[in-house]
Structure 1
C-alpha cells in the first residue's frame, strides 16, 4: 500500500502516530489499509483527513515481491490486479518502449 501516496511529511507523521497510538501491536489484518484511504480510516476509527485524488499520464509501476512490507505479499497470497500493459511506451523521461520482462530483470 501507499505506493503512490503523495502527502506532506507532517500530515503523514500525524496519521501514522495516531495509528500507532491506537494500535501499538499493529492494525487488525481485516481492517488494515493505506493511509488516506477513507474506507480504511473509517474501519479503524481514525481521523479522516482532507484529500484529493489525481491521475497521471505517466504509468505507476508496482512490484509485488518477497521484500515488501505486506505479509500477504511476502507469502505470495496477494491477489494481482488486472494486467494493463506488457509494454510501457513512456518511461524514465524517454519516448521508448520498455517491456515488463526487461524491467523485472533490472529489479532482480
Structure 2
C-alpha cells in the first residue's frame, strides 16, 4: 500500500471521510492530477509541479486543503485561510458536512489557471 493511502486510512473516521471526499472532488475536477506522499502528507501534483496538499490537524480538529499558489488566488477569499504562511492558502474543513463542493471546485479551477 502506498504511503499516502496509509496516511488516509490510518486517520480517525471523521478525518478519513473528509479526506476521501476531498480527494474524489479533486480527482474528478482534475483527472491528470497525481497524488504523492511528500513531507509526510498527501500532496497533489499537476504537470509534475506541486498543486495542493491535504493536512489533518488533530489539535485544531480540521482538514486543510492548502493550495501551493494560494496567495495568488483572487476569488473565494472569504473561505481561504492564510494562517501565517507565505505562499499557501487553504480551505479548512471541520466536518464532512461543511465541505462546499461548489467552493472547492471553484478554488481548484482558479488555481489550475496559475499553472
TM-score, normalized by length of structure 1? 0.31
Larger Rg: 1
**Whose strand proportion is higher, 1 or 2?**
2
Tell which has more relative contact order, 1 or 2 (C-alpha 8 A, sep 6+).
Answer: 2
TM-score, normalized by length of structure 2? 0.29
